[in-house]
């Protein structure tokens, strides 16, 4: 696992844990849980987009070479 992904996962887990801890103590923790969810979606979504882009690049290159 690369360092950046590890950092992002730790950050999301920390926000989630803090949010739950705050809620358990009757404090506003929903904000942190919401931010953790947004970051998880953003992190996953961007990685998916990048992977798709990387997969499409050789195909495009092949198409250009063929033409």
Partner 1 sequence: MQIDVVAAFFLFGALAQLVKAPIRMPKGLYQSLTLFLLVAIGLKGGIALASHASLALLWQSLAVIAFGALLPLVAFPLLRWFGGLSRVDAASMAAHYGSVSIATFAVALALLEASNISYEPYFALFVALLEIPAIAVGLWLARADNGGRNRGEVVREIFLNQGVLLLVGSLLIGFLAGSGADKLLPFFGTLFHGVLALFLLEMGRVAASRIGSLRQYGSFISCFGVLMPLLGATLGALLAALLGLSTGGMILLATLGGSASYIAVPAAMSVALPGANQSLSITASLSVTFPFNVLVGIPLYSALISHLTP
Residues near partner 1, by CB under 8 A = 3-4, 6-8, 11-12, 14-15, 18, 22, 25, 27-28, 30-32, 34-35, 39, 42-43, 46-47, 49
As given in the structure block, the two tokens for residue 62 are 């092949």
User: Shortest approach of partner 1 to residue 66 CB, angstroms?
Assistant: 31
Half-sphere exposure of 6 (CA within 13 A, CB side): 3
User: Shortest approach of partner 1 to residue 22 CB, angstroms?
Assistant: 7
Nearer to partner 1, 38 or 60 (CB): 38
Question: 25 — phi, psi (to 5°)?
Answer: -100, 15
């Amino acid at each position: 696992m690369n360092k950046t992904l590890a950092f992002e996962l730790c950050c999301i887990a920390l926000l989630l844990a803090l949010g739950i801890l705050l809620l358990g103590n009757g404090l506003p923790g929903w904000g942190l849980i919401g931010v953790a969810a947004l970051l998880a979606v953003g992190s996953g979504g961007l990685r998916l987009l990048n992977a798709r882009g990387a997969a499409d690049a050789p195909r495009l290159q092949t198409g250009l070479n063929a033409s």
